[in-house]
Every structure is written in structure tokens, then in C-alpha cells.
A and B are shown apart, each in its own frame.
Chain A
Amino acid sequence: MSETLFTKDHEYIVVDGDAGLVGITEFAQGQLGDVVFVELPEIGVARKKGEQTAVVESVKAASEVYAPVAGEIIAVNDELADNPALVNEDPHGKGWFFKIRIADAGELSGLLDKAAYDALIGSLA
């Protein structure tokens, strides 16, 4: 059973056991506009919570993507290299960025659930 949590910086993490699949939210992709390039981390690197882990370049600007929790990168979405538009078309599905092995499950409690995240973006609209 997986659970989706969110950061205030508009990353999501789909938690499944001790691993989490990370991407940017539907709201974030809409704000960025057309994505033309994604710089992904290398597999095996460790990231702290909040540390820059990927970069997403839209036609307008470059934006940093942070690790929602600490952990080791165990997979990246290679399809984004040839088709970065997946981030716009299917941000919560085929447009995922990387998979992280969650070092400390306790850090998940600091993230937002869907209701809290929806309230956050509602306040930004």
C-alpha cells in the first residue's frame, strides 16, 4: 500500500515500504510551463532532506528539485532524457524523477498529506 506525501516546494513522494518515488506536482509543472530538460542525480549518491537532487529546465527558467527526505538514489527516470515533456503530460505517473531509499522514516512525518498540500496550493492560486 503506497501513500503520497508532498513538500512545500511542490515535490511529491510516493512512499512504498522503505522506498519513495519522487517527482514534481501537477501544480508545479503548470507553474513551470513546458519542460525541455531534466538533470537527474546519479544512482548511488546520498542526499540529505532538502538537498538539491535534480534540476528541471522549462522554456522559461531552471528550477531545483530537492530530496523530500534523506536517502540513497536507487533509480532515475531515464525516459526524461529523450522526452522531458512527460513531466508536463503525466507528472504523477510517467514524469517521475528519481527513486530514493528512505534513510529515516521519521522524516516523513514532516511532509504534507494531500489535504494539507491542496490547502497550500489553494492559498497560492
Chain B
Amino acid sequence: MTSELEQAPARTPLYARHIALGGRMVEFAGYALPVNYSKGVLAEHLFARAKAGLFDVSHMGQAFLSGREAARKLESLVPGDLLALEPGRIRYSQFTNEQGGILDDLMITRLAPGATGERLFLVVNAACKTADFAHLRARLPDLRLEILEDRALLALQGPSAAAVLERYLPGVSALGFMSQGAFVWRGFELFVSRSGYTGEDGFEISLPADAARPFADALLLEEDVEPVGLGARDSLRLEAGLCLYGHDIDTTTSPIEAGLAWSISKRRREEGGFPGAARIKKELAGGLTRMRVGLLLEGRAPAREGAEIANAEGVVIGRVTSGGFAPSLGRPIAMGYLPPAYALEGTLVNLIVRGKPLPARVVATPFVPNRYYRPAKA
């Protein structure tokens, strides 16, 4: 039996704040979230690139996975190298299926070991979290999975993020890209990761639900911080050339096709031992039939997800998986899949929009250079 109550979108701890800030609320992955606030997507996007944007990403799934040899056991479900991951470091990886497709992509942080063994902190996509957690429980029954439903997740992204956050969490600006640390703010425990999905330097902050509103309010009082909704979150990640699950990657695309080979170490490529390893090995050896590419449109009309990609002869050779206007570039960009013969930089193709061919060129991603913080080694 399904009641209306169960169907209503869930609210994050910042729901009332989104409304007060003029958020245009939409349902996204079962949650009521703002697509933009009163200044609009363009202004929010450019502000995040210039100063710092605050994003509510509390809809994402957070969990601890712990137990004896938790890292080695999780390697049986993801191609990422977790044995080599040191405490306080973060790895981007994917849950793969037996066919080498992607069930979800996720961030894995190794924490300091506890009394019960190794401890990992996972952040997964909202739309996949129920399935991901069921998958973990079914496949790794001897590990303890603790789903953190009472924690919110905020992202502070942009060149001013480190200076601002340092005022609240002294020492946080020393974290390097893809590193994590625990901090205390007004007695609340915060897990702070130097990561994000905008291409900018920035942080993702996991914090108790009760702390989310006062902490967000404190940050929003800062001159260099403004709230950013889902619309600009999408245009920022597209400019950064990052994959959006369910669009650029899904159960049919492999990590290699998606251009994510960098997330699979030499040891894992050789040893395999994760679902779909055979396909990934074959594709790495040159057996690719399609690859994710960046597409820079020549004109001003955007091409969106689903648009066909045609060659000069008009033959359909692929499809756009993400596309839209790039505010930082002032022109439309897209990503899609093409056969390797067409995936070379500079290749000219046409994106078919409302029956008309829009000229576009294959380009390297990111479209906008990323600015991750990588401190020089001492």
C-alpha cells in the first residue's frame, strides 16, 4: 500500500532555508530541492566560479562500511584501488555489474581503523542509494554497513571556499584535494572532504542534520558565499567534464568507455577481481567500440541529452548524454558517445536538434580548466 505521504518528496534539513532564500523547488531523486534561487542559474554558476557557492547535497547517500579487511572486500565490487588508499584519503570509483556496466559512481574515504577493523566512508548518488546499500548488504554480508540518515551534506565550492571555511574550521585549508579530516564546530562532528563536482577547489561537509541549518546560515552570511541550486550544479559539472550518473554513465556504459580509466590502478587492471573485469580488460587492450567525448558547438543553440550525433555524411554515429549552455564560456557544450574513429580532438560532427544539424567539434575535457588544490609535496 502506498500512501500520499510516502510519495511526497523528502525534505532535507535545509528545506525551510531553501524556501526562505527564494528557491524554485523541484523534485529530484525523491527530494524537494531548489533548481535555482532568486538570482538564477547563470548568476549562481558564475558566482561559484568567482567566489564560493554553497550547495545542499543532503539527498546523497552517506554510510560507514567497516569490518575486517573492509577495503579488500569492497574491492570485489568496485575497480578502484582501495588497498593503496591511506587513511584520510578519498578515491573516486564505480560499482560495476557483471557486464562491466556502471551501477553507480561513488566516493570512498578510508578512515582510521577502529576496534572492529577497517572503516570506510561512502558517498553515493541519491537516485541509486537504496539499491547501492542493498547491493553492499547482499554482497558483503560480513561487513557492517551503517547508513547515516541523520547526517546532512553541504558542498562549498569555488576559489574563496578554503579561506571562508578556514574561519570556521581552523586547519581545514591544509587538506589536499581528495583528502578528508574530522573537525568540530559548536560541538558537532564534521567530516570534511576536499572534493566536489564543480571543477573548482572546494569541500564537501558531512554534518549532523541539527547542525546543517546553523552552519549553512553562518556560511551564507559571508560576503563571498551564495547559495547555488541544482541548475548551476549541473552546468558547473558539465563544464568540468564530469559524468552525471543516469545520463553520461549507466548500466550499459563501462568505466573505460566513459573515460574513467584513470580511476583504475595498474594492479586492479591486471588482477581484476571486480564485476565485469573481463570487459574492462578487453576495452583497455583496444577493444573499445565507443568513447565519451566533449563537444563544443559552433553556434549558440544548445543541444541537449538525447540529441543524435551525425557524421558529415549524415549518418547517426552517437548520441548526446549531457548538453546545455556553458555560462563560463558563453556558448553551448555537450558530452556524448562516439566510435573511436570519430573521438579524436578536432573531429567535426553535427548534433541534430529539431531536425537541424548543429556543427560541433570534438574537444578534450574539462571544458573549463579545473582548479583543484594540490599542495606541493614537502
Q: How far is the CA of A33 from the CA of B41 in the complex (A)?
A: 7
Chain A-chain B contacts (Cβ-Cβ < 8 Å), number: 38
Q: A81: CB under 8 A from chain B?
A: yes
Q: How far is the CA of A57 from the CA of B299 in the complex (A)?
A: 13
Q: How far is the CA of A76 from the CA of B36 in the complex (A)?
A: 31
Q: A62: CB under 8 A from chain B?
A: yes
> Which of A55, A60, A62 touches B35 (beta carbons < 8 Å)?
A60
Q: How far is the CA of A55 from the CA of B300 in the complex (A)?
A: 13
Contacts of A59 in B (CB 8 A): 40-42, 231, 235, 324-325, 327
Contacts of B110 in A (CB 8 A): none
Instruction: Tell me which residues from 28 to 43 in chain B have a Cβ below 8 Å from any Cβ of chain A.
Output: 35-36, 40-42
Contacts of B304 in A (CB 8 A): 61-62
A33 with B40: in contact, given A59-B231, A59-B235, A60-B231 (CB under 8 Å)?
yes
Instruction: Tell me which residues from 295 to 343 in chain B have a Cβ below 8 Å from any Cβ of chain A.
Output: 300-302, 304, 324-325, 327, 332
Q: B377: CB under 8 A from chain A?
A: no
Instruction: Tell me which residues from 68 to 83 in chain A have a Cβ below 8 Å from any Cβ of chain B.
Output: 81
Contacts of B42 in A (CB 8 A): 34, 59
Contacts of B35 in A (CB 8 A): 60
Complex contact A60–B354 (CB within 8 A): no
A37 with B301: in contact, given A57-B325, A59-B325, A59-B327 (CB under 8 Å)?
yes
Q: How far is the CA of A37 from the CA of B302 in the complex (A)?
A: 8
Return A81 CB to nearest CB of chain B, in Å.
7
Complex contact B325–A37 (CB within 8 A): yes
Contacts of A62 in B (CB 8 A): 302, 304
Number of interface residues of B (CB under 8 A): 16
Q: How far is the CA of A37 from the CA of B324 in the complex (A)?
A: 11
Q: A39: CB under 8 A from chain B?
A: yes
In this complex, which of A37, A60, A84 has the most chain B Cβ atoms within 10 angstroms of its Cβ?
Answer: A60
Contacts of B231 in A (CB 8 A): 33, 59-60
Q: How far is the CA of A33 from the CA of B39 in the complex (A)?
A: 9
Q: A36: CB under 8 A from chain B?
A: yes
Contacts of B324 in A (CB 8 A): 59
Q: How far is the CA of A57 from the CA of B235 in the complex (A)?
A: 14
Q: How far is the CA of A33 from the CA of B235 in the complex (A)?
A: 14
Q: How far is the CA of A59 from the CA of B325 in the complex (A)?
A: 6
Contacts of A61 in B (CB 8 A): 304
Return A13 CB to nearest CB of chain B, in Å.
23
Complex contact A34–B301 (CB within 8 A): no
In this complex, which of A34, A37, A59, A62 has the most chain B Cβ atoms within 10 angstroms of its Cβ?
Answer: A59
Return B48 CB to nearest CB of chain A, in Å.
14
Closest to B36 in A: A33
Closest to B230 in A: A60
Complex contact A81–B235 (CB within 8 A): no
Closest to A61 in B: B304
Complex contact B41–A34 (CB within 8 A): yes
Instruction: Tell me which residues from 3 to 40 in chain B have a Cβ below 8 Å from any Cβ of chain A.
Output: 35-36, 40
Q: How far is the CA of A36 from the CA of B41 in the complex (A)?
A: 11
Query: What per-residue 1/0 map shows which CB atoms of A25-67 lie under 8 Å from chain B?
Result: 0000000011011010000000000000001010111100000
A81 with B300: in contact, given A33-B231, A36-B325, A55-B354 (CB under 8 Å)?
yes
Contacts of A84 in B (CB 8 A): 300
Complex contact A57–B327 (CB within 8 A): no
Complex contact B300–A36 (CB within 8 A): yes
Closest to A31 in B: B24
Q: How far is the CA of A61 from the CA of B353 in the complex (A)?
A: 13
12 contacts between A and B (CB under 8 A): A33-B40, A34-B42, A36-B302, A36-B325, A36-B332, A39-B354, A55-B354, A57-B325, A59-B235, A59-B324, A60-B41, A60-B231
